[in-house]
Amino acid sequence: MAQITYDDFAKVDIRVGRIVAAETFPQARKPAYKLRIDFGAELGVKTSSAQITKYYGVDELKDRLVLAVINFPPRQIATFFSEVLTLGVMIGEGDIVLVQPDRDVALGTPIR
């Protein structure tokens, strides 16, 4: 495993957001959802493609708090631009469980 410095880690901007909308993404190569995530007044709503279909249904994602990296460049996935990387823990063969705060915190709060 490669080591990084704290300065390297500090370059990664991870923020708390709330999913405001989720929909299926049939054009994606691997099963995924299109998410719209609100990061508060300063950052607004961003989009993300998330391969979380095994453990989550579209209807249970709305209003869920999540963590996301917001300073990666946007990435085009099929016809969709993913602006942030929603964070999850990979278990099994590519099955992903979301990483989320265990308390209600302000949207846009940075992770340190």
Mean pLDDT to the nearest integer, 25-36: 94
Mean pLDDT to the nearest integer, 81-108: 94
Residue 107 belongs to some domain of the structure: no
Q: Could you tell me the pLDDT band of residue 112, with boundaries at 50, 70 and 90?
A: confident
pLDDT tens, residue by residue, 69-90: 999 999 999 999 999 999 999 9
Output the pLDDT for position 97.
96
Residue 11 has pLDDT above 80, yes or no: yes
Residue 12 belongs to some domain of the structure: yes
Mean pLDDT to the nearest integer, 36-41: 98
Residue 110 belongs to some domain of the structure: no
Residue 51 belongs to some domain of the structure: yes
Residue 1 has pLDDT above 90, yes or no: no
Structure tokens at 69: 């990296």
Residue 31 belongs to some domain of the structure: yes
Residue 15 belongs to some domain of the structure: yes
* List of residues 6+ apart from 70 with CB closer than 8 A: 13, 14, 15, 39, 43, 46, 83, 84
Q: Which domain holds residue 88?
A: 6-98
Q: Could you tell me the pLDDT band of residue 55, with boundaries at 50, 70 and 90?
A: very high
Any idea what the CATH number is for the domain that residue 50 is in? 2.40.50.140
Residue 86 belongs to some domain of the structure: yes
How many domains are contained in the chain? 1
**By percentage, how much of the chain surpasses pLDDT 70?**
100
